[in-house]
Every structure is written in C-alpha cells, then in structure tokens.
C-alpha cells in the first residue's frame, strides 16, 4: 500500500453565508474546532460551546481575532445538564433571531475491557455521547418547530457504531445510538422543514486523541486506512459543511462515513 499525502486545505465558498450555527465541543484542535473554523470561512455566524471554559475562551479569542467579534460568540455548556443546553440554544436565537444549523460534536471516549467496565464508566460515556446529543437535538427541534424555514442538524457519530473494536463497548454503543437517534429525529424533523444527518469518522488525528490513545494502537488504526494515513479534522469538517449546506438538500436521516474503506 502506498501512503497518500494529506490534500491541500480547501478554501471557503460562502456555502453558509448568513446562517447562524451552534456547535458543541467546538474548542481546541479536534473536529469541533475545525468545524467552527470551516463554518466561519463559509460565512456563518457561530456560537461555539464546550465544557472546558478556559480552552473555549482561548478558541473564541483566536477565531474572533481572525473573523471578527460579530461572527463569533462562545458559551460554556455541559451537555449532560439540561438547563445549560436550553440556555445555549435560547441564547443563539435571542442574539440572531433564529437558528439555522446545529452541530452536535460533544462526546466522551475511553478504553476499558467490558468484563472490567464499571457502571459509572458505561453511564458517563452514554450520558455525554448519546444522551447529550439527544438533549441538543431536542432543543434544536423545538426551535425549528417554532420558526419559519426549519434548519439543519449534523450529529457526530463514528464508524465504531458499525465496527467492533475491543475496549470500546460503551463508546460504540453510544455512537450506534447516535446513528439511530439521527434516523428517528430526521423522520420527525420533516414536519418542521428541517433535516438531520450524521457523519461517522474513522480516524481523525488531533492532540487530545493522541493523549488518550496509545501510539501502538494509533499506528495500527492508521495502517488499516486505505490511504495509509489518518484524516485531518478539517476533512471531516468539510463533510459537515456539505451536510449543513444547500448542497445536501435531499439528504436526511443519513449517516455519512468519513473514512478510507478498504476495497
């Protein structure tokens, strides 16, 4: 297998011009942070949130310095807290009059053999990754129901919702749940003129992943990819932009795999 170099960064084309977007877990160098940047490059106004307040503030400042304070706002939010979720979405609507796009990126992983996994480990991953996504989808749909023109939700799932990997029972179950939630929410969202889709990345490298995953496992997972490399977070963000834009107007209830599958 021949390794393929990462492609050149794709410039913005105004695909989200004038849209208001809420993005969870959007601070830092992962998929959420990359998506916030891509949305700004495509002309959107963004309200980014994260449970890590210091990192969120730093990311807000960096984006505002580049794209202007009118385009970027930030609000801490723990998706396991219903009151915080409700305030996040209400704030976006109060500031801009409507809500156009929601990207649910918040998730929690970890590695544990199933026989050794505690109830607390299982429940914590499910509460953040699946129930947290549910809370945000519910909040978004309530706003879409009450406004003209609907909106778009993009959830972040994972190929582990389909594939088996040792030590990932809780995370895989949560991400499979996100996929099922996406499909069911999409059927109901049609009544509000809204669409709900998801992305399922395989391996997008970022500093946090490198901290919580062993180098040996990362090397093994990378070797499985057809391109012989991991995805850049912005490559996943590009697909999220597509799903949020008018280019995907006939897609709903779909889970788009962002991975290099072996033939």
Instruction: Please tell me the distance from the alpha carbon of residue 117 to that of residue 215, in angstroms, as a whole number.
Output: 22
Strands 101-104 and 152-156: parallel
192 is catalytic: no
Three-state SS for 184?
helix
What is the number of other CB atoms lying within 10 angstroms of the CB of residue 232? 17
d(CA 223, CA 86): 42
Q: Which is nearest to 186 in space by CA: 198, 176, 196?
A: 196
CA distance 193 to 152: 9
Catalytic residue among 9, 171, 192, 247: 171
For 11, counting Cβ atoms within 10 Å of its Cβ (0-12 exposed, 13-18 middle, 19+ buried), the class is exposed
Q: Is 141 exposed, middle or buried (0-12, 13-18, 19+ CB in 10 A)?
A: buried
Beta strands in 77-161 (DSSP E): 101-104, 152-156
> Which amino acids are annotated catalytic?
171
């Amino acid at each position: 297998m021949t390794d393929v170099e990462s492609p050149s960064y794709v410039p913005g084309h105004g695909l989200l011009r004038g849209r208001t977007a809420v993005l969870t877990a959007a601070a830092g160098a992962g998929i959420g942070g990359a998506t916030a940047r891509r949305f700004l490059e495509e002309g959107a106004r963004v309200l980014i949130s994260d449970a890590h307040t210091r990192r969120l503030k730093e990311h807000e400042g960096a984006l505002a310095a580049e794209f202007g304070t009118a385009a970027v706002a930030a609000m801490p939010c723990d998706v396991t807290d219903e009151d915080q979720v409700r305030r996040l979405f209400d704030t976006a609507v109060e500031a801009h009059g409507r809500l156009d796009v929601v990207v649910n990126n918040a998730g929690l992983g970890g590695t544990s053999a199933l026989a050794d996994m505690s109830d607390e480990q299982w429940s914590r991953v499910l509460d953040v990754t699946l129930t947290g996504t549910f809370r945000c989808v519910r909040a978004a749909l309530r706003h879409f129901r009450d406004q003209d023109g609907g909106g778009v939700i993009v959830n972040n799932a994972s190929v582990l919702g389909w594939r088996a990997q040792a030590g990932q029972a809780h995370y895989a179950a949560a991400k499979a749940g996100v996929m099922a939630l996406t499909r069911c929410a999409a059927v109901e969202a049609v009544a509000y003129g809204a669409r709900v889709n998801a992305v399922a990345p395989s391996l997008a490298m970022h500093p946090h992943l490198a901290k919580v995953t062993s180098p040996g496992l990362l090397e093994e997972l990378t070797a499985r990819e057809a391109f012989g490399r991991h995805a850049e977070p912005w490559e996943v963000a590009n697909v999220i932009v597509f799903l949020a834009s008018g280019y995907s107007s006939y897609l709903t209830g779909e889970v788009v795999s962002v991975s290099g599958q072996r033939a």
